[in-house]
Amino acid sequence: MEERVRAAIREAVNREPFARQFGIELAFLDDGRSRVEMVYDPARQDNIYGRAHGGALFGLIDEAFETAAQTDGTIAVAMNVNVTYIASPEPGSRLAAEAREVSRTKRTATYEIRLADDRGRLLAVCQALAFRTGKPIPFL
């Protein structure tokens, strides 16, 4: 992957309000692959049952999808995202979502994303489909 694309995506994540709100960090980025991390904070990310809100976990998964899908330097947007939640994280655990491109055509790309905690326990799996616009990412 081009270093200027990697640097542009990294900087965009650092500036992104959503990522900043949840403390999401881009830990790894390469062609069609990404790893993003955050610490699960119950005070900001719990649901009404006192467990991790699915939206908070989805947000981390979506950030991995978003960053992996842009690695060719063009805009890709979500068409479909299917998440299966398996377990809830423990308070204070560091979570990591890893996205991997499975297939790519001129107009679409498919990704597998796995969410795990810092003990290696699988929390969620995801399959996502992106529409590839062919337009360059605007923050290059």
Residue with tokens 């790519």: 104
How far apart are the C-alpha atoms of 20 and 79, rounded to whole Å? 24
What's the CA gap between 67 and 76, in Å, rounded?
Answer: 9
CA 47 → CA 37, 50, 74, 117, 124, distances in Å? 20, 6, 35, 18, 17
**Each residue's pLDDT expressed in tens, for the chain with a length of 140 residues:** 999 999 999 999 999 999 999 999 999 999 999 999 999 999 999 999 999 999 999 999 999 999 999 999 999 999 999 999 999 999 999 999 999 999 999 999 999 999 999 999 999 999 999 999 999 999 99
Give dist(CA 40, CA 77) in Å, integer.
26
Query: Domain residue spans in the chain?
Result: 3-136
| Candidate CATH numbers 3.40.50.300, 3.30.70.2740, 3.10.129.10, 3.40.630.30; the one for domain 3-136 | 3.10.129.10
pTM listed for this prediction: 0.97
